[in-house]
């Protein structure tokens, strides 16, 4: 009974005994969750349009951030370097479609998945050769991401909010809104949705597969760049960001591989829950470091009861 009380009752009592600290934890979890959701969006966009699970999305985050920092270090002003990095990500999308994906049309899914692993290794090797492996500082100030912090005083305590985190959350909301508007109201956006809803029907009405692939990989590159800027402003830019980016995998398992809504809700849910679990259960009961594995365990539990994820469509194959 004593053990049960420590596990079930004491953490909740501690949580509501200090509501200002609870708000601080929730804010930190929200910021992490928004960034997880952004990475997951890149996976979802590519999978919806091509049924390819893009293992390279994590390293695309690193490569985009390294390109931005590298071009700035070469003498380009920050916003010129940003625009040039977008150009690099577009050329990368064209190269992947022409060199890797086009020759593999109609190949089994596992072949396409292995191709994205090859893209990952190519970008890792190329990134290390071009930019080196040392940690680099993101050019946050020159891109308009403010430094400093804001302090709020609810419940007779205080909540410390980093100004850059506010900018990141606001920027993520704007980017997701723009992406949804593009997918819902533009001709190319509707083509992407049609390809995701019914691959063969979309091809039969003349939707160009190669054009859509270039577009979605470029959109995934834009998302990777924005995510790299956000994570880089918090932790610097290095290949270690790839490990953080892989946190999108449990987000996809939780929300569903085909659902943009699932990516957003799953990312925020995992960000909040892993932070709450780490602070109120992990540190006092398990010694901490639960953030490394909590999201994967949570996703596994969800998959046991709903294999397609919370927002994924149940696939029924008729034989």
The two structure tokens encoding residue 196 = 């995701």
Q: Judging by beta carbons within 10 Å of its beta carbon (0-12, 13-18, 19+), is residue 95 exposed, middle or buried?
A: middle
pLDDT value of residue 319: 47
**Model pLDDT, residue 171:** 87
Contact 266, 249 (CB under 8 A): no
DSSP state of 75: T
Structure tokens at 15: 């949580």
Question: Of 117-121, 132-136, 272-276, which range is least confident?
Answer: 132-136
Strand locations in the chain (E) = 149-152, 159-162
Using the structure block, give the residue that is written with the tokens 């953030």: 291
Tokens of 305: 């009861």
Mean pLDDT taken over the chain: 82
Q: pLDDT for 11-21, tens place per residue?
A: 666 677 777 88
- Tell me how far apart the alpha carbons of residues 39 and 58 are, in angstroms, rounded to a whole number: 8
Convert the pLDDT of each residue in 123-152 to its tens digit.
988 888 888 878 888 888 788 888 777 777
Average pLDDT over residues 252-262: 84
pLDDT at 68: 92
Q: Which of 209, 218, 224, 193 is closest to 65 using CA atoms? A: 224
* pLDDT category of residue 91 using cuts at 50, 70 and 90: very high
* pLDDT value for 134: 80
Instruction: Tell me how long the chain is.
Output: 319
Cα separation, 188 vs 287, whole angstroms = 50
Does residue 217 surpass a pLDDT of 70?
Answer: yes
* pLDDT score at 81: 92
Q: At which residue do the structure tokens 């539990």 appear?
A: 301
> Would the pLDDT of 315 be above 60?
no
Q: What is the mean pLDDT of residues 163-191?
A: 86
pLDDT at 90 over 50: yes
Pair of tokens at residue 238:
């290095």
Q: Specify the DSSP class assigned to residue 280.
A: I
Give the pLDDT score at 93: 92
- Contact assessment for residue 240 and residue 58, using Cβ atoms and an 8 Å cutoff: no
Q: Are 34 and 271 in contact (CB under 8 A)?
A: yes
Confidence of residue 202 (pLDDT cuts 50, 70, 90): low
Q: What is the mean pLDDT of residues 190-213?
A: 69
Helix/strand/coil for 261: helix
């Amino acid at each position: 009974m004593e053990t049960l009380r420590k596990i079930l009752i004491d953490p909740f009592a501690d949580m509501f005994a200090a509501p200002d600290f609870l708000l601080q934890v929730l804010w930190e979890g929200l910021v992490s969750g928004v960034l997880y959701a952004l990475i997951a969006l890149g996976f979802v966009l590519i999978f919806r349009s091509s049924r390819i699970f893009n293992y390279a999305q994590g390293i695309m985050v690193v490569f985009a951030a390294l390109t931005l920092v590298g071009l700035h270090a070469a003498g380009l002003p920050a916003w010129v370097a940003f625009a040039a990095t977008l150009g690099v990500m577009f050329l990368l999308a064209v190269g992947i479609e022409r060199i890797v994906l086009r020759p593999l049309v109609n190949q089994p899914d596992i072949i396409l998945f292995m191709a994205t692993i090859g893209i990952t290794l190519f970008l890792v090797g190329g990134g290390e050769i071009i930019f080196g492996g040392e940690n680099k500082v993101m050019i946050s100030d020159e891109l308009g991401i403010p430094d400093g912090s804001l302090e709020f005083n609810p419940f007779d305590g205080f909540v410390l909010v980093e100004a850059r985190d506010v900018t990141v959350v606001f920027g993520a909301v704007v980017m997701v809104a723009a992406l949804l508007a593009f997918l819902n109201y533009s001709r190319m956006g509707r083509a992407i949705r049609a390809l995701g809803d019914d691959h063969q029907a979309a091809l039969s009405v003349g939707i160009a597969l190669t054009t859509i692939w270039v577009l979605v990989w470029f959109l995934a590159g834009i998302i990777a760049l924005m995510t790299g800027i956000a994570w880089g402003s918090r932790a610097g830019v290095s290949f270690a960001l790839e490990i953080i980016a892989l946190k999108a995998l449990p987000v996809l398992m939780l929300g569903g591989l085909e659902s943009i809504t699932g990516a957003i809700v799953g990312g925020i849910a995992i960000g909040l829950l892993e932070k709450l679990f780490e602070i109120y259960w992990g540190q006092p009961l398990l010694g901490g470091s639960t953030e490394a594995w909590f999201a994967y365990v949570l996703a596994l539990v969800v998959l046991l009861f709903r294999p397609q994820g919370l927002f994924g469509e149940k696939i029924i194959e008729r034989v």
